[in-house]
Amino acid sequence: MSQTNTPPRLELRGITKRYPAVVANDGVSLVVAPGEIHAVLGENGAGKSTLMKIIYGAVKPDAGEVFFNGEPHLAKNPRESRALGISMVFQHFSLFETLSVAENIWLGLDQSMSLEQVREQIAATASKFGLPLEADRPVHTLSVGERQRVEIMRSLMTHPKLLILDEPTSVLTPQAVEKLFDTLRQLAATGCSILYISHKLDEIRSLCTNCTVLRGGKVTGTVDPRNESNASLSRLMIGAEPPALQHRDATLGDVALSVRDLSLTSEATFGTDLHHVTLDVRGGEIVGIAGVSGNGQQELLAALSGESVRAPRGSVLLFGNDIATKNPQARRAGGLHFIPEERLGRGAVPMHSLAMNGLLTRASDLVKSSFISWVSPSRNAMLARDVISRFNVKAGGSDAAAKSLSGGNLQKYIVGREISVAPKVLIVSQPTWGVDVGAAAQIRGELLKLRDNGCAVLVVSEELDELFELCDRLHVIAKGKLSPSIATREASVELIGEWMSGLWEKVV
């Protein structure tokens, strides 16, 4: 229990940070006590990530003061912050892809430890916190969810005094989330302060004892989330409650996407082989696939999207046509579009403008056919502006670089780009990862509209609440095997959680 004369672990006074197109933080003040789990809540683009980077020393504020343990703190770089005991897990990861998990973690630790000692610590920490990792696996073979585990592991192994977590539970089963929460409460009991960023309001109300809410870079309130409802937190965050989804009974069409007894050896050394995967997705329905990251989702999505053309002939069918060996362009021509989980690098080219990124999957809409074909710049920019407007993307116009957007706003743009094509089949991985409640409701609503218009939608997500809200039927993938489907109305979070461990044989 802290004494009255104990200084705050962290105090921000009037923090302001301006960029050419936006004021990210506008006079932000907050106080975090020793041992407090303090949420920072806000819609995408509200300034949360910028504020965390200022605390961590990755960004310099234009005005304001930072105090750590009562002393002025304005780190020149993250190394200075880490030396004080400040650790951060970024939403966009900072890992070296050609190095192993252990080597990446080693770089962020006391170099007096040997690499072998780091491996041993990884094994012990993984067991304690329920974050399974293979220490010698190269990072480039990991899924997004597995990379997030590496970041969480690296921070936990520094024994921090202030731990900043940005969307840390997107990779975990409901059971593992509870285990992580127990761990965070134990850390807080030892005096470690935790700044917790999440768009999952139930998590914040369950875990956190204080909450600072940002909107448009300004503080709109500081509340005890345990005394708030999801609705009241939403009003503080976005000024309104997110609209309720209209989920009507499905009107099923013909089978649009079919997978038949697909077995495939992973190309990655530490990847997951697929074993006899069979599923159908019909027009007018949303089928969900749940599972802990790293259980074959990457391999299955690569086979369905055309990123991998190694699937056996006849194992992947689009409207009855064999597409197992067809490339992504041929699949798009047949009406199949794909939204990957990795935004920067796969979903969008970071350095290119939003308009130029439209060419990645919409080139056929943008080319003027003649003896010599060319892209119409004006139409290209117009389509980008339409997506920005329709999906309320906060960006500096169609010429804004993809990397300049917050994670949530870039996700809205990528999802909007694909939905606006009116696909016949849409495969989407982690549709609302890192997206605020208002934007998540909008994206889910657009997916339901697609479904109601006859599109076949396959959603792969680690967000069980999302799958239950969206889907007509559910599968679970575990160790490269796919469970039988179950109608969402007949499923429960507890049942799906059990199936995520591969325990569905009793119902087969």
Instruction: Give pLDDT, residue 364.
Output: 66
Instruction: Give pLDDT, residue 142.
Output: 82
Overall average pLDDT of the 411-416 stretch? 92
- Distance from C-alpha of 467 to C-alpha of 469, rounded to nearest angstrom: 5
Quick check: is 387 in a domain? yes
The verdict on 221 and 358 lying in the same domain is no
Q: What DSSP designation does 263 have?
A: E
The verdict on 189 and 125 lying in the same domain is yes
The verdict on 162 and 287 lying in the same domain is no
- The set of residues, in sequence order, having a beta carbon less than 8 Å from that of 83 and lying 6+ positions away, is none
The verdict on 216 and 264 lying in the same domain is no
Instruction: Give pLDDT, residue 317.
Output: 98
Please name every residue paired with 100 in a beta bridge, in sequence order, or none if there are none: 138
Token look-up 């003649």 returns 370
The verdict on 152 and 273 lying in the same domain is no
**Strand order across the beta sheet in which 218-223 lies:** 86-89, 162-166, 193-197, 37-42, 210-215, 218-223
pLDDT higher at 258 or 145: 258
Query: Among 203, 238, 273, which residue terminates a domain?
Result: 238
Q: What CA–CA distances, in Å, run from 28 to 49, 93, 223, 287, 408?
A: 13, 25, 15, 43, 21
Instruction: Give pLDDT, residue 369.
Output: 53
Instruction: Give pLDDT, residue 4.
Output: 57
Q: Which of 51-60, 279-288, 366-375, 414-423 has the lowest mean pLDDT?
A: 366-375
Note down the domain range covering 49: 10-238
The verdict on 174 and 319 lying in the same domain is no
Task: State the amino acid at position 41 in one-letter form.
Answer: L
- Distance from C-alpha of 508 to C-alpha of 506, rounded to nearest angstrom: 6
**Tally of CA atoms within 13 A in the half-sphere of 241 that contains its CB:** 7
The verdict on 227 and 308 lying in the same domain is no
Confidence of residue 16 (pLDDT cuts 50, 70, 90): very high
Quick check: is 356 in a domain? yes
pLDDT at 490 over 70: yes
Model confidence over 435-485: pLDDT tens digits? 778 888 889 999 999 999 999 999 999 888 889 999 999 999 999 999 999
Task: State the amino acid at position 430 in one-letter form.
Answer: Q
Quick check: is 428 in a domain? yes
Confidence of residue 2 (pLDDT cuts 50, 70, 90): very low
Quick check: is 442 in a domain? yes
pLDDT at 3 over 90: no
Query: Among 205, 238, 271, which residue terminates a domain?
Result: 238
Instruction: Give pLDDT, residue 376.
Output: 75
The verdict on 274 and 192 lying in the same domain is no
Nearest-10 Cα torsion for 47, 48, 51, 52: -150
Q: How many helices (H) and strands (E) does the chain have?
A: 17, 23
Quick check: is 472 in a domain? yes
Overall average pLDDT of the 19-30 stretch? 90
Overall average pLDDT of the 403-428 stretch? 91
Quick check: is 248 in a domain? no
The verdict on 350 and 302 lying in the same domain is yes
Rounded to two decimals, what is the model's pTM? 0.73
Confidence of residue 237 (pLDDT cuts 50, 70, 90): confident
Instruction: Give pLDDT, residue 92.
Output: 65
CATH number of residue 371's parent domain: 3.40.50.300
The verdict on 125 and 261 lying in the same domain is no
What does the mean pLDDT of the chain come to? 88
Overall average pLDDT of the 179-191 stretch? 86
Confidence of residue 508 (pLDDT cuts 50, 70, 90): very low
Instruction: Give pLDDT, residue 172.
Output: 60
The verdict on 339 and 194 lying in the same domain is no
Instruction: Give pLDDT, residue 244.
Output: 73
Quick check: is 243 in a domain? no
Model confidence over 358-397: pLDDT tens digits? 888 877 665 655 545 567 788 889 989 999 999 889 888 9
Instruction: Give pLDDT, residue 335.
Output: 95
Instruction: Give pLDDT, residue 254.
Output: 96
Model confidence over 117-169: pLDDT tens digits? 999 999 988 887 777 789 999 998 887 667 878 888 888 888 899 999 987 77
Share of the chain above pLDDT 70, in %: 94
Q: What CA–CA distances, in Å, run from 61 to 48, 57, 196?
A: 13, 9, 21
pLDDT at 5 over 80: no
Query: Among 238, 271, 300, which residue terminates a domain?
Result: 238
Overall average pLDDT of the 271-294 stretch? 94
Q: What CA–CA distances, in Å, run from 263 to 91, 237, 292, 300, 446?
A: 33, 46, 20, 10, 33
Please name every residue paired with 63 in a beta bridge, in sequence order, or none if there are none: 16
Model confidence over 289-344: pLDDT tens digits? 999 888 999 999 999 999 999 999 999 999 999 999 999 999 999 999 999 988 88
Instruction: Give pLDDT, residue 374.
Output: 67
String of DSSP letters for 268-296: STT---EEEEEEEEETT-EEEEE--TTSS
* Tally of structural domains, the chain: 2
- Distance from C-alpha of 488 to C-alpha of 490, rounded to nearest angstrom: 5
Quick check: is 496 in a domain? yes
Instruction: Give pLDDT, residue 400.
Output: 93
The verdict on 192 and 277 lying in the same domain is no
